[in-house]
């Protein structure tokens, strides 16, 4: 009898291993259960946290993957995925839930590529920025002709037209002089945006994101900044014009990485539209004001693109497996793109970390800054660059950095205190206002033997 029981248990285990994954749509409660299921299966490399609530009080939950969940490790970049910004565009939501399960499962199976990704990257996944809109769209049903309701949030606001408009200020500064990065928000910005938008902006302030993508539907194309044209018009087939960022070639490369790793995006012909290589500059498609990807680039250190992933905004359940297989490799490859360019520490002459130091690359009119712990990340294409670090009260330092096609080049800066102090009200040469620079003792690497050891393999 015991032999028969043993055979039965082995057959049951085998069935579980080969049983196909069930693909289905997730209402809010299902989404939350899925996130906690992944966390319970991989508790040592995941963390669930909420960045705020929707209009109707639903949590905006994020699932984090890291070998040190909840901790920023020095020189380890932060990446985010945002799905379901428009409530009726649901594929991104399902793909991010599926990817969460995939990352956990592959880590537990000792997949070296996934283990390396999680050990070297802190990944944040927000499956739904607009849970209220999703519930409205899902309640309407899949068989309704025409557009679904639920695109907007519960207050009827399009969240991708709800971020502060910083493009106008940048276009002015580009022409007449002024800061080219970290443009300030209006004093009353909190009263101008929706709860979901406010939560995401605070999220951006709390974590020094380097790379990001937001997932949409209604087309199949990788869309990169700028979204807002220099000559802004409403969506039209006439009068559009390409409006590139100073990092246009880099953004094109990021978009192509996703497009060519995708099952069919790179072919160009999708949903009745044609986009060469499956990519487009946002403004050349149609001009969009107050969008999230432009805001990321102009207000933070983050490079963000928009991924339009399906012709049908609310695909039938039977289509979800094909869509997952078409997007799986692209989702992973895009995360891996954060490991390029240069990164390093900015320290003073006493080896204290400098927060907010400005990193400028000659020939590219867009700077980044060092984070709270003094580390910085600057995505760049392969090449040779002249890089300068500046901070109020310190002499600037310029070095030559050679960037290869693989891992990022480590470029550290030790700044010497200036004998002539910068006037706090005067602009520094890069357009950033002078002032006090935060200094703090250098933080030891998290992987030193004196520190808690990271989780190195499946539980």
Q: How many CB atoms lie within 10 A of CB 366?
A: 18
Gap between the Cα atoms of 55 and 159, Å rounded = 12
Catalytic residues: 308
Answer for the pair 288, 227: CB distance below 8 angstroms, yes or no: yes
Tell me which residue of 190, 203, 208, 224 sits closest to 129, measured CA to CA: 203
| 250 preceded by a cis bond (ω within 30 of 0) | no
Q: How many CB atoms lie within 10 A of CB 239?
A: 12
DSSP secondary structure string for all residues of 235-295: S-SSS------TTHHHHHHHHHHHHHHSSSGGG-EETTEE-GGGEEEHHHH---SS-HHHH
Q: How far is CA 79 from the centre of its chain?
A: 5
Gap between the Cα atoms of 432 and 187, Å rounded = 19
- Which tokens belong to 230? 């220099």
Listed in sequence order, the residues at least 6 apart from 25 whose beta carbon sits closer than 8 Å to its beta carbon are: 90, 94, 138, 317, 320
Tell me which residue of 225, 270, 273 sits closest to 251, measured CA to CA: 225
Answer for the pair 45, 121: CB distance below 8 angstroms, yes or no: no
Gap between the Cα atoms of 207 and 197, Å rounded = 16
Q: Please return the burial class of 188, using the count of CB atoms within 10 Å of its CB with bins 0-12, 13-18 and 19+.
A: exposed
- Which tokens belong to 86? 């428009």
């Amino acid at each position: 009898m015991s032999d028969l029981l043993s055979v039965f248990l082995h057959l049951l285990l085998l069935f579980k291993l080969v049983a196909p994954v069930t693909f289905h749509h997730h209402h809010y409660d299902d989404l939350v259960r899925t996130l906690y299921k992944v966390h319970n299966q991989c508790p040592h490399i995941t963390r669930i946290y909420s960045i705020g609530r929707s209009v109707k009080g639903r949590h905006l939950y994020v699932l984090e993957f890291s070998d040190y969940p909840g901790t920023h490790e020095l020189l380890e970049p932060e990446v985010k995925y945002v799905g379901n910004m428009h409530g009726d565009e649901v594929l991104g939501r399902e793909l991010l839930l599926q990817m969460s399960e995939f990352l956990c499962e592959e880590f537990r199976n000792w997949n070296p590529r996934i283990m390396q990704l999680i050990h070297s990257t802190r990944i944040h996944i927000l499956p739904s920025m607009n849970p209220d809109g999703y519930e409205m769209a899902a309640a309407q049903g899949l068989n309704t002709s025409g557009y679904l309701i639920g695109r907007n949030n519960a207050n009827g606001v399009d969240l991708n037209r709800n971020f502060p408009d910083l493009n106008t200020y940048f276009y002015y500064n580009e022409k007449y002089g002024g800061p080219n990065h970290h443009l300030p928000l209006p004093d009353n910005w909190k009263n101008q945006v929706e709860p979901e938008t406010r939560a995401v902006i605070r999220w951006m302030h709390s974590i020094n994101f380097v790379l990001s993508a937001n997932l949409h539907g209604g087309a199949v194309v990788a869309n990169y900044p700028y979204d807002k044209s220099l000559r802004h018009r409403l969506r039209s087939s006439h009068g559009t014009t390409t409006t590139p960022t100073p990092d246009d070639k880099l953004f094109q490369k990021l978009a192509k990485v996703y497009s060519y790793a995708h099952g069919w995006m790179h072919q160009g012909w999708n949903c009745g539209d044609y986009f060469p290589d499956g990519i487009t500059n946002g403004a050349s498609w149609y001009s969009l004001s107050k969008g999230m990807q432009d805001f990321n680039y102009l207000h933070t250190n983050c490079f963000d693109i928009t991924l339009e992933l399906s012709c049908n905004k609310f695909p039938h359940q039977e289509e979800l497996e094909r869509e997952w297989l078409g997007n799986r490799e692209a989702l992973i490859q895009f995360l891996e793109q954060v490991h390029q360019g240069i990164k390093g520490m900015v320290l003073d002459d006493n080896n204290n970390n400098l927060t907010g130091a400005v990193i400028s690359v000659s020939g590219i009119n867009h700077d980044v800054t060092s984070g709270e712990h003094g580390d910085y990340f600057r995505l760049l294409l392969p090449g040779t660059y002249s890089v300068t670090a500046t901070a109020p009260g310190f002499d600037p330092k310029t070095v030559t950095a050679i960037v290869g096609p693989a891992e990022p080049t480590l470029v550290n800066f030790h700044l010497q205190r200036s004998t002539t102090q910068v006037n706090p009200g005067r602009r520094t040469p890069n357009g950033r206002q002078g002032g006090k620079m935060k200094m703090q003792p250098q933080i030891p690497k998290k992987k030193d033997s004196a520190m808690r050891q990271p989780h190195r393999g499946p539980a």
